Each structure stands twice: as C-alpha cells, then as structure tokens.
Structure 1
C-alpha cells in the first residue's frame, strides 16, 4: 500500500513538472479579432509562432519567428529566419520569403503590399507582381489615390498602375491636393513644413511654398492666404490677380468676387476693379442651377438684393431677405413677411404675419390670424379663411382648421373633406399614402386614398 502511494505521488510530481515546463515555454501572442477565432488564432510556443484552433488542431506549424495579419482574410505575414513572406491558413506560400519586410498598405490592405529589399522600398500586389520597384527610401499611400515616393528628401508620385506622375525631384514634405483640367492631371498642391505651394508635373515650382492656405478655384484661379491672414488670388504662373489685402474673398462667378477689407464688404472683378463700393456691412451670395447667382447685401441695417452684375435690383429697405429653391425670395420688413421675384419685383407686399412656401408652386400666408392659400403669382386660391393651414407632407392635400375641427383642401384651395375631424394626420411610412382622421376618439378613419 505504501509502495502504491509513493508511485502515485511520484507520478503527480512528474506531471506537474512537465506542465510547468510547457507553461514556461508558451508566450502570449498577438490577440485576434472575433472573426478570426473560429478559424484559429496566433500562438507562440518555444518562441516560435503558429496558428492553432481551440480544439488543438494546428493549422500553421510553430516554426516562424513572427506571424501577423488577418487569418480570416487568409493573408498572413510570416517571418522565417531573416526573410519575410506571405502565407495563407493552409501554410501555403503566397509571397516568397525573399523580403526584409512586408507591410499592408491602407486603405488597400490586401491589394497592395509595401516591401523592403536591399534597404529600399517598392510595391507588389497580392499575387507578388511588382508594381513599383524597390528604388525608394520610403513609400506612403496618399489620400489623392496615389503612392507618394521619396528619395534623398525629395518626393515623387506614382499611381496604382505603377505609372510615374512626378519624378522624385520636388523638395517638399507631402502632396496635399491635385488640380485637374479636362480630366487630365495638371498640377500638385504641395506642403513644405507649414506652408503650401504649387508645382507642375515636371516638379517645377510654379508658386513657392510661402502661403498658409492655397486652394484651386474655377477658371485656373488659385486662392492663397498668407501668415497674416490676408487673402488674394493668383494664376498658375504666380501672377497676382487680386492682391493679398483682403480679409475674405468669395467667388460669385468668373469675374465677380465678394471681398472684405477694413471691416466693410464690397465686390471687385478679376482685374481688381471695384464693382460694389466698400460700404456694406455684409454681402452674402446665393446661387442655384435654375435661378442663377444673386447677392444679398446689408448696409445701414437695411437689406437689398443685387444681381450677378453688381446691380441692385431692389431698394435697401428690408430687415431680411431669404433665398429659396424656387427663384423667389422671402422678405421681412417691420416684422411682416412678403415675397419678391428674381427681378426684384414685388409678388406679395410685406403685410403677412406668417409666410411658408410649400413645394414649388404654393404659399401659405397668415394675415390677422386668418390663413390663406396662394400661388406663386400671389393669386388667392382658397375660398374660405381658416384659423390654420397645415402642410401634412403630401402633394395633393392640406389640413385646415376652424375652431377645434379639421378638414382637407386640395392644392387648388377646394374643400375635399368636411371640417369635422378632431385630428387629421398622415403616417410617416412611405408605403402608406392614406390620410387618416379621428372623430370622437375613433381612430384611423381613412379620409382619402392616393390616386
């Protein structure tokens, strides 16, 4: 019996000793995301990396100095000896072990791979085909959809096809933006330390990096701002169009610019000739494809409307002017609302307490607490005065109120549902086109059905 106990004790000590040895040789490997766990995870045993499933099945043997990447995607960066390659979950070699380093390029993490060979960098695709030869000190992905390459402190540009757009001859730190003309790349906006400039495809500096801001505008115009926050305009040959004397510049069209100087607004053309004198407290441009461009100006606390030639088409007599999407403008004067057209002609006098434009041809107004429906010519459509007219998000009907009861009118102002409902509503669902009413607590009475 004593012998048996001694044997059991010895076996237990031996088992614990073996377990201790295995535990000591197992290191913590990089954590895998939840998508990878079912397909195995990285582990380290005896300082070698492999991939093992939860049930103990070894997918990739423990023979690598390093493993990383996405097991789920099947792109695993592996280091063997002093060389780096790419394997899949079956331990099949995708990219041969011939590189000093491999790095997945974002946002194309599994399409392009940066490689290092002979201390120089290049780009290969996921099939191992060379896109860019290893001729560069560094390669980074640029937000403008190309590779930024660097040699001896000078940068160049290569696209995803491996075509050189700019030889590494530009003394700069980064490419911030590109300028295209007729679908053809023409210029690069570059950064050097904390300043910006413009270079052509040959790397020639067209505008030196002396500006704190630089943007490309229409018609080959370059907007710039200096360290003193003064703005101006140049062409791509670095010739001054508007001197850097303005606090703010807005382009209205090719020859019309709103500018601010010494706390007053005015307008100039591309030759810097004054179109609107510097006497405005504010100038605001509004434009649309259908209606063209207009400027809303304020001086001496009164507002007026100016066309795109710089001509005032209304008197400066309004408190506010608001642009709309319908080539008409809402005006406010002495706390009353009115309406003018795009020529400055009055459609509705400023006599309404409430004015709402609905869709593209109807106006709800309120005068002396009475609501009416008008068209864009100011013609009265509704035959009755209502205590309220409510747009209920339909192109056919409006809810109207008298007392505590509601009815419906159509967009011609005709009463189509009697004023007897305690509530009228339309569901927000795009599938349900019905309009519902409630009478005496009875809900969901269908008043109208879509035509």
Structure 2
C-alpha cells in the first residue's frame, strides 16, 4: 500500500527552480514579512498523454516527461493535452500547434483550433473555418461559416445556413441542403430537413424518412429518437426495438443503455428488455458498469443489477486504466473494477488515470502514482518561493530557469 513516506522509486531527488520575470513579476523590496503565494502559483494536477504532462506555474503552461524533467517551458496561456503528436497552445490570444519537442508546427495565428481527427485539424481564422494537415498546412481553405471535425472521413460544413458534408480533400460529398446534421456513424448520419430528422447514407440516399423531433447517432446498431413526444430506440431500418417509451435514453455501451422515465432511472438491453428500474440516481460508466446512489451514497453495479461496490462513497468517477476515482469525506482514492479499494482514500484531490499514472495532491504536494499506488514523482512548491521566483521541488535536483530558458543546473 502506498503512503507519502514510502521509499521513492527514484533514489535521486531533484529541485526545479523556475524563474519567471517580467513587468508583472517586478522584484519586490525585501521585508521581514513572508510573501505567501496562492496555491494557484503551481499546479501539477494533470494527466500524462503521449508521454507528456502539463504543469502550470504562475498561470503559464508547459510540459514535463515521465522523469519529471521540463521538456517545454511554462510560457503558454493555454495548452491542450498531446494528441496524435500535437498540442494546441495559446499565446497573446492566438492559437497554434506545437510538436512533442516544443517546436511550433504552425504559426500562432488562429482564433480557434481543434485536435486532429482523420489527419485533419479544424481551425478558424478571419471568421471562417478550414482544415490543416499533419504538416500544419492549410489544405482546406477557411471559407465556411461553420464546420466540425472529421469523423469517418467526412466533415460537416455550413454554407449559406445550409449543412452538408465534405471529404478530406475538401470535395463536397453531400451538398449543403439540410437544416442541421450530425456526424456519420456506422454508415448513417442524422440530418434535419424542414424541422424533422431522418437518416441518410454517404451517397445522400434517404434510409430512414424525416419524421423525428430529435435523433442520435447509431451505436451498436441502435439509435435514440424522439417521435410523437416519446423517446424510442430504433434499428437501422427505423423500427422501434421496444414498445416501451422513455423520457431519455443514453448511448448503448456493451449492449446496454441508461434509460430515464418519470423521474426514475433504469437499464435497458439492446433487445429492449428493461433490466433495472426505479432508481433515483444513476450514471453510465465508460466501461459498461453503472454507478448508482442509495441514501445519498454511491456504488457500482453490473447492467444485470448485481452490485460490485456497495454504496459507501460521496462521489464516484469513470474507470480509466481499470481504476475509478472515489470520494469519502472530502478525501479521494481509487477502486478497481471488482469494487476493491486499491489506492487509499487519503488524498485532497485526484485526477483520472492515464498511461498508467495519476496525479494526486496532499496539501501543496503533488504525487504521480502508478496503478499499485507507488509514488513515481513528487512535486512540491518550495516555502521560499516568491512571486518573481517560483521554486518547485521535483525529487530534489535543482534546475534554474530564467524566462523559460535553462540558465544553470546544479545538484545538491
């Protein structure tokens, strides 16, 4: 079991000093009074993605690697997690893309950017939307009043308040003629015409006629629609899978979905069978389990109703890397998919697991734990830090930074 004082995996300790200078961080006259910094001066409560993790120092973002070394200095007003080798960053109110080594892939000229999907990234410039390729080149001109990210090789675009689809070369596949549309999924896309929703295929052939007030994307061969004030589950022929109607139905995950009717929650199968009903609070987890509440405490159950974690938690989260964050009395820990506590519920805050690590916090110290609860990295804000010189201890090696650039490095 992991506690704060167990032996560190890394025997050496490093201290990281970050010096952020500027007009805002003017050097102050020395006084006998201690300059206490807000906890927001340093934040390491983020997740590893593609071997990189954000940190924030004095409201500026940078990235560390799994050894705790700063790879990209804290100089951005915003930074997204890395995805497909890129991070979206913001500086001086403009966005751009950087690579995992911190080199700019694009200039910082965009008003809006989304992560790459289908080897294309949606951008907005001069009030219009277009798309970048993986080289950072504008391969589809910014000429659309509205557009969405690519999904299944097609993207939604809007021209003259009409909605259609283009392919990755920018060629129009379905001409802009619909009121609204959602992305293709399992070969069909929900589209609206004259205020009613139906479904078309990639050839723009009408597969399910326009008759629904609302329509979701298909998943596992089923979609949720609203027809005649009833929420129904339909197949790809447009036929209802169950005679039962609901106020709302979630997406199906592993053959089951969360349903809601008359203020109560339940679970329905793909065959339309109601497995569970009459619960006051439920949440669908991302791994096919269901969180449920009893007497204001939360637990987990299988879609069949079998409880795997008795309701004992103030709050519960989704499962990532097989573990879910749980809370008792303002403290956080983690349970596995069998409902067993595997990381003690002792932390003031906790993120979600990603790439086998999770960031947790006690007081002003951040710990990156592995799935066994063993500390791999420890970050702490040094008590001698002042606004113009933030000192962050990272397993005790000292590095001094000035304006985001390495000046000296020394070992104590």
TM-score for the superposition, normalised by structure 1: 0.39
Q: Which has the larger radius of gyration?
A: 1
Normalized per residue, which structure has more helix? 1
- Greater relative contact order, per chain length (Cα 8 Å cut-off, separation 6+): 2
Normalized per residue, which structure has more strand? 1
